Every structure is written in C-alpha cells, then in structure tokens.
Amino acid sequence: MAKVGFIGLGIMGRPMLGNLLKAGHEVVAYGINAAKLDACVTDGAQRGTSNRDVAARSEVVFTMLPDGPEVEQAVLGEDGVLAGARAGTLVVDMSSINPLVSQKIGAACAEKQVEFVDAPVSGGEPKAVEGTLAIMVGGSDAAFHRAEPLLKAMGSKVTLTGPIGAGNVTKLANQIMVACNIAAMGEALSLSTRCGLDPQVVLNAVKGGLAGSTVLDAKGPMLIGRNFKPGFKVRLHEKDLRNALLTAEANHVALPLTSLVQQMLLSLLSEGKGDLDHSAIATVLEKLSNVTIERPS
Amino acid sequence: MAKVGFIGLGIMGRPMLGNLLKAGHEVVAYGINAAKLDACVTDGAQRGTSNRDVAARSEVVFTMLPDGPEVEQAVLGEDGVLAGARAGTLVVDMSSINPLVSQKIGAACAEKQVEFVDAPVSGGEPKAVEGTLAIMVGGSDAAFHRAEPLLKAMGSKVTLTGPIGAGNVTKLANQIMVACNIAAMGEALSLSTRCGLDPQVVLNAVKGGLAGSTVLDAKGPMLIGRNFKPGFKVRLHEKDLRNALLTAEANHVALPLTSLVQQMLLSLLSEGKGDLDHSAIATVLEKLSNVTIERPS
C-alpha cells in the first residue's frame, strides 16, 4: 500500500480520496476549506497543513482542483507541492484543465526530477462515489504504470492516451462531443416540437438508429421532463469548452460547432444558470426559437 | 394479402418491393427506368405502365422517390397516382422529403377521398434488403393501422409520430442529430490528432461514456480508416438538411448548428464528393484545420 497525498477535497475529491482509503492506502489530505478537511480526517485521512506538507509526507500526490490556475498555484506556487516533493515523487493531476497548463506543470516537475501525469476523469459525482470513473491519462509509460494501480481504486477504466497533456486533450474531445450532441438534440427537438410532434415520441422513434447516443438516452428525458438538476454543471462545461478553444487556438485548429456551443453556454451563464445541468444547452436553442421542448398537455 | 402498387425502383425501392413480394402481396411496379422495371418484374412484380396505371390496379400505393418534387409529380402530376386512384385508395410515401410537401400532397389526396401517410425510412440499403428499416409514419390513426401490416414487411420498427408530415419531421430530426454528431466527432478528433494523439485511442477512451453514440461506433472507424464508401451519401444528407432548414424557415425555428453542417455538406458537393459516405462531413473540418484524422504511422 502506498503513502499518498490528496489535494482538493470538493464534490469529486472527497469521494475519490475515500476510495483510496478503502483500498487500504495511507492518505494525507489538504484543502483550503477547513470544514472539508475535517470531514476527510473523519473519513480516515491524515491532516495535511499545506500543499508542501502533503508532498513532503507522500510518495504520490493527487490534485483535484477546479481549473488550471488553481493547479498551477497548488503545484508550482509558494508552499506548493514542488516545494515539498523529493526527486522521484509522482504528481497526478486529476483536474480537468487546459492541456497546455498540464505541459507547463509537467516541465516544471521534470526540472526537479518529479514525475507528472495528467489524469482527468469523466463520470461525475456518482461515479466518483462508486469508484467507477473513466480516467484518461497523459504521461510517460513508466509514470502511467506507477499511477495505474492507485487510479484503479477510483476508476473502472484507466487509459493512457499519450504524453503529458494527452489526458486533458482526450477529456476535451469528450466534452466537445457531449456538448455538441446536446445542442444537436436541442435543434432536432425544437423543430419537432414546433411542428406539433411529441418530443418523447420522436426520441423513441430515432434512438435505436444512427442518431442514437448516450446523450439522447441520458439527457433527452431530463430535457423533456424539464429537470435540469445537475449532473454536470453548465459552468464546468463552459470552462471545458473554453479550454478546448484555447488549446485549439494554440494549435491552429478551427472548431466552428464547438465555438458556437460555447457561446450558448456563455448565454446560460449570463442568465445565472451556471449551476443547471449541461442539458440546459438545449434551452438556449428553445429560447432562440421561442419553443419549449415538452410533451403536449 | 393486399394488392399493392410500388413506384420508384431505385437502390432502396427495389429491395423494399422485394420484401412485399416475399410477404405474399401482389405488387404492381412502375418506375421511369425501364431496366429497373424489368428487374422488378423478374423478381415477381407485375408490370405497370404509368403511375396512374399502378394506382388504378392497387388498393395501396407506395412511392419511394428521391425528393419532394418527384413525389409531387408522381402523385399529383399528369397520369399520376391521383388520376388513377379511387376513393378509399391509400397512398404511402416512403421517400424522405420536405414535410410541407407531404402536407400539400396529403391535402390533395383528401380532396379525392384518398388516404395518405408519409412514411420515410432510416437504415439505408442493407436494412432495406433485410426488411429491418426504421419507419416513421405521419397520418391519421386509421390510415396508420391500414398501412402498418404492409410496412412491417419492410421494417422492423414502425412508429406513428403524428399527423401527415410528422414522419418526415421525425426523419429530419434524426438527420439533424446524425449530421451534427458526425461534425462534432470531426472537431473532437481534429483537435486530438493535431495535438499528437492517436484518434483510435481517443475513441476507445471516450466511447463508453456520455460522448458515446452510434455515430462514434459506426462512423469513427470509417473516418480513421479513411473509408468513405457509402453507407449513406453526402448528397442525400445535404438534401435532408436543406429540407430541415426549409421546414425550420417556414416554422420560424433557428437551427444554427444544422445550418453550419449543411454548409459543410455543400462544400463537399463543390468538390464532387456527393457520392461519398456522410462521414466525410468530418473531412471538411480536417480541411479547415489542415489535419488528417488517421492513426500515426
């Protein structure tokens, strides 16, 4: 069993840390919220006093933070992970961030002989609790093989997709398809509903064919039932598409649909709807055409 | 067993007619291509001499034609179906056309006490041959119940989705989602490939999650394998999205993603690529960013 650190104790981090504990690992926890740190100590973690302290006491350090700036601060900042890490420490960033930031952090780690992988997850809170996340990893083969058994305590599918940054590129590819598939469903059902059809009947008619998707199965009923309880929040998907567009810009890749759907997410933020489920992307299309995708009463 | 007529003996029509024959129905066939009519007679159909003649000899008349203008001509034109039909004849248009044209034809039929349903299909040639098409029907309950047993000779899933035109609205909803899902896959994999990832590895990492779709499973390997043998042709998908935009315009529905993807289909037509599989939509995104979605060599 390994001696590991865990930084970032939010909705995702706490259950992920819990699954490391359940697998028998010794975990030192740290997060800026004292109450959340207390909760993790109650769960069985040791109390860390800073990011640096966590790193000094661990062979492998996990970070699970909101976005790239927070990860940069936690790893590279004053009293950060790199200040406490020894040569040979492995840092595993499980946050969903801009892959360019992963590469920057990976380079800074390499200068101190610290190993780094980016390992963002998909599946949300329920799968974090169950330990069945999908985990997409970017890094060297050696670092991946070192991280893999620990990651398997948190996820059911752990895939090495390339060098450092590749985990986040894969996550962005995933988020592009999810967001665009939701928007496409919004357009298809806006048109159908305006033409007088029952959107549930349309869904049932098409879902077994080439239009079928996990989005249609998982998000179609939420949309038609007007249930936007997250799930995965609009503001997080907006962050992911923003990071996709930043990565695309740096690499001279044009993403016309993605940029359009990111604007739809911004429109939702402008209405204070950042905490709705991302299926609310379809409501921007409804609003554009003054239609509501619901069953006829 | 019913006495039925079948007009339109192309790639889809001939095997669909064949399945009506196999189910034991007596079929009068007609199409403008003499060789194709001969082939259907060889299959066991009776030879019709005109659309009008087919209608005069049948209780139920099926049409399977390229687009709305051809259906209008065949049903409403000189020597057309309505010229030969009696009160009580049922016309079943299985073409994929603008639902506004379905409604126009339905109204003209009603004036002559001829019943009409629109019943477009999805599944393409392989499922037409197997008799396992998905068939989306618009019309009255009575007309649907009359058509249903005959349609079940050609399809495995036959769904009434609303009044006349609703079959084609449902088909358009299907085609909107398929086209946009292909384009979304194109953007996700263009970005991944440019960032140095193997697109097949990305597909494998994400396909079990919320980004999963039938498009990803069926069209992803074709794209990565650079196999654009149709399947479903670009020029037919362009027609479908054009009809979706015409229907949307008439109903004041804004379809930003759909209109963008329809432009991509036009771009393919400009290059003479109308006969490629519609997964070629992704190649427009490749071209936009000067990248090829293929495995690293």
CATH assignment of the domain containing A275: 1.10.1040.10
Residues A47 and A192 in one domain: no
CATH number, domain of B147, equals 3.40.50.720
**Can you give the pLDDT at residue B234?**
98
- Comparing A260 with A1, which gets the higher pLDDT? A260
Residues B20 and B159 in one domain: yes
Residues A175 and A272 in one domain: yes
Asked whether residue B154 is assigned to any structural domain, the reply reads yes
Phi, psi of A229 (to 5 degrees): -70, 125
Cis status, amide bond into A231, omega within 30 of 0: yes
CA distance A222 to chain B (A): 14
Residues A85 and A213 in one domain: no
CB B102, CB B165: distance < 8 Å: yes
**Can you give the pLDDT at residue A159?**
97
Residue with tokens 């650190």: A5
Residues A71 and A148 in one domain: yes
Name the pairing type of β-strands B115-118 and B90-93.
parallel
Residues A147 and A263 in one domain: no
**Can you give the pLDDT at residue A297?**
84
Residues of A with a known catalytic role: 171
Residues A269 and A204 in one domain: yes
CB nearest to B205's CB, from A161, A187, A253: A161
Asked whether residue A295 is assigned to any structural domain, the reply reads no
- Does residue B171 have an active-site annotation? yes
B206 contacts in A (CB within 8 Å)? 122, 134, 136, 170, 173-174, 177
Give the burial class of A225: count Cβ atoms within 10 A of its Cβ; 0-12 exposed, 13-18 middle, 19 or more buried. Answer: exposed
Residues B26 and B132 in one domain: yes
Of B128, B163, B198, which one is at a domain's C-terminal end? Answer: B163
B128 near A CB under 8 A: no
Interface test with A, best of B191, B245, B261, B291 (most A CBs within 10 A): B191
C-alpha span between A42 and B237 (Å, rounded): 58
Helix (H) or strand (E) holding A180: helix A166-194
Asked whether residue A246 is assigned to any structural domain, the reply reads yes
Which of B36, B127, B157, B171 is catalytic? The answer is B171
**Can you give the pLDDT at residue B119?**
98
A41 near B CB under 8 A: no
Of B135, B163, B191, which one is at a domain's C-terminal end? Answer: B163
Phi, psi of B134 (to 5 degrees): -90, 130
B184 near A CB under 8 A: yes
Of B106, B139, B163, which one is at a domain's C-terminal end? Answer: B163
- Kindly determine whether residue B176 and residue A190, on different chains, have CB atoms separated by under 8 Å: no
CB nearest to B255's CB, from A187, A206, A257: A187
**Is pLDDT at A239 greater than 90 in this prediction?**
yes
Of B285, B37, B29, B257, nearest to A182 by C-alpha is: B257
Token pair in block for residue A267: 């429109």
| Averaged pLDDT in 10-residue chunks for chain B of 297 residues | 95 97 98 97 98 98 97 97 98 98 98 98 93 97 98 97 98 98 98 98 95 97 97 96 98 98 98 98 98 95
Instruction: Find residue B61's DSSP bridge partners.
Output: B5, B91
CB B4, CB B20: distance < 8 Å: yes
Residues B55 and B76 in one domain: yes
pLDDT tens digits, A68-98: 999 999 999 999 999 999 999 999 999 999 9
> What pLDDT band is residue A209 in, cutting at 50, 70 and 90?
very high
How many Å is the Cα radius of gyration of chain A? 21
A–B interface: beta-carbon pairs under 8 A? 254
Asked whether residue A296 is assigned to any structural domain, the reply reads no
Residue A2: C-alpha distances to residues A51, A132, A153, B55 (Å): 18, 20, 12, 79
Asked whether residue B137 is assigned to any structural domain, the reply reads yes
> What pLDDT band is residue A146 in, cutting at 50, 70 and 90?
very high
CB nearest to A251's CB, from B172, B195, B204: B195
Residues B224 and B121 in one domain: no
Q: What total number of domains does chain A contain?
A: 2
Residues A150 and A179 in one domain: no
A183 contacts in B (CB within 8 Å)? 180, 257
Residues A187, A188, A194: CA angle, nearest 5 degrees: 85
- Kindly determine whether residue A202 and residue B161, on different chains, have CB atoms separated by under 8 Å: yes
State chain A's mean pLDDT as an integer.
97
C-alpha span between A230 and A250 (Å, rounded): 31
Instruction: Report DSSP letters for chain B, one per residue.
Output: --EEEEE--STTHHHHHHHHHHTT-EEEEE-S-HHHHHHHHHHTPEEPSSHHHHHHT-SEEEE--SSHHHHHHHHHSTT-HHHHPPTT-EEEE-S---HHHHHHHHHHHHHTT-EEEE--EESHHHHHHHT-EEEEEES-HHHHHHHHHHHTTTEEEEEEEESTTHHHHHHHHHHHHHHHHHHHHHHHHHHHHHTT--HHHHHHHHTTSTT-BHHHHHHHHHHHTT----SSBHHHHHHHHHHHHHHHHHTT---HHHHHHHHHHHHHHHTT-TTSBGGGHHHHHHHHHT-------
Residues B62 and B195 in one domain: no
A288 contacts in B (CB within 8 Å)? 254, 256
Structural domain harbouring A189: 169-289
A142 near B CB under 8 A: no
**Is pLDDT at A2 greater than 90 in this prediction?**
no
**Can you give the pLDDT at residue B124?**
86
CA distance B14 to chain A (A): 22
B221 near A CB under 8 A: no
**Can you give the pLDDT at residue A225?**
98
Asked whether residue A297 is assigned to any structural domain, the reply reads no
**Is pLDDT at A270 greater than 90 in this prediction?**
yes
Instruction: Give the number of other CB atoms < 10 A from CB of residue A8.
Output: 27
Asked whether residue B294 is assigned to any structural domain, the reply reads no
B163 contacts in A (CB within 8 Å)? 196
Asked whether residue A294 is assigned to any structural domain, the reply reads no
